Structure 1
């Protein structure tokens, strides 16, 4: 398979609240705007502050009208094997229950602290049940600026390369310091 990707991957993003303040402007949306401006990466952005909103956002992603959006970007607070919505949370297993068999050929990136700090078995179960091509994220608490900068680089690599092996090789070789510092993982 050829190393470069001729078809642009589009991003479907679900983002939670980063702060309890109702007028807080913290968001990853400016990063998505930057990707669109400089690399023409199309995206759909949804603010989903509650668990119920998040589940609806996941279900919407699986609809046919979003079939060109091959990259699911989940941006929330997280802890080991969980994504948080205030005091509520959802586990990788629960997400897999919702998306079972619906992510064939899709890429999932969980941009949250420590969510992929779980067993390899849990991650492989997620991949097997959902059918996603790969899942990536962090195994520790991550600083917002550093992880956002890394995600810009990562999304760029995802749009340049098609195969899992080539994506992983390029991320690890080009950005090994950030990969190690952020405890970024890709399966």
Structure 2
């Protein structure tokens, strides 16, 4: 596989990552956490990482970010690494719809980009995407049309997308550059952006 060209940003940037894991009390380092650490060292993109194993833990993590982290305004990207099917998210054996997740984040994501890793498909209708954006206040939601248990988007294209985003605030131009620079991978994973 060819090495991805990953841009390095000039200024410090931040990502807040929530990953659903089977047991959040275990102190295992996940592949996603390893990649985030590498992004800090090599791309000047810092992150806060939180493992969650229940919907309550996910909500508590978002509330902690909002009400206790004084740097919340610096986190432009909320990175969700969540398993699931279609537009449902699987947490601790229970499925939650994208509408339920929107209501969980209600009014809390003002101006943020919410990016979902390819552990689950993101396939929203125009009405579903507009509902999600209206309820959460998010600037955009992005993800993939093709899930892949063997090739995580965190290792490949997510890190490129994050760097491009921090280089250029225009989402349309970011997506154009992503497809121009990494067309084959973008098409293979079916990258999607709703804004």
Q: Do they fold alike, i.e. is TM over 0.5?
A: yes
Q: Which residue of 2 aligns with 1:71?
A: 77
Q: Which residue of 2 aligns with 1:123?
A: 129
Separation in structure 2 between the aligned mates of residue 53 and residue 37 of structure 1, nearest angstrom: 28
| Structure 1: stretches of 5+ with no match in the other structure | none
Q: How many residue pairs get matched?
A: 182
Separation in structure 1 between the aligned mates of residue 13 and residue 97 of structure 2, nearest angstrom: 26
Deviation at residue 9 of structure 1 after TM alignment = 3.3
Q: Deviations over 1:43-63 (max 9, x none)?
A: 100011222111211222333
Give the one of 77, 91, 105 matched to 1:99.
105
Alpha carbons 1:72, 1:109 under 8 Å: kept: yes
Q: Which residue of 2 aligns with 1:142?
A: 148
Alpha carbons 2:20, 2:81 under 8 Å: kept: yes
* Pair 1:39 & 2:43 matched: yes
Secondary structure class of the residue paired with 2:45: coil
Per the normalisation by structure 1, the TM-score is: 0.86
Alpha carbons 1:18, 1:77 under 8 Å: kept: no
Per the normalisation by structure 2, the TM-score is: 0.82
Separation in structure 2 between the aligned mates of residue 30 and residue 117 of structure 1, nearest angstrom: 28
Separation in structure 2 between the aligned mates of residue 138 and residue 183 of structure 1, nearest angstrom: 5
Give the one of 10, 19, 23 matched to 1:15.
19
* Pair 1:157 & 2:161 matched: no
| Structure 2: stretches of 5+ with no match in the other structure | 1-8
Alpha carbons 1:18, 1:26 under 8 Å: kept: no
Q: Which residue of 2 aligns with 1:132?
A: 138
Alpha carbons 2:118, 2:152 under 8 Å: kept: no
Q: Which residue of 2 aligns with 1:54?
A: 58
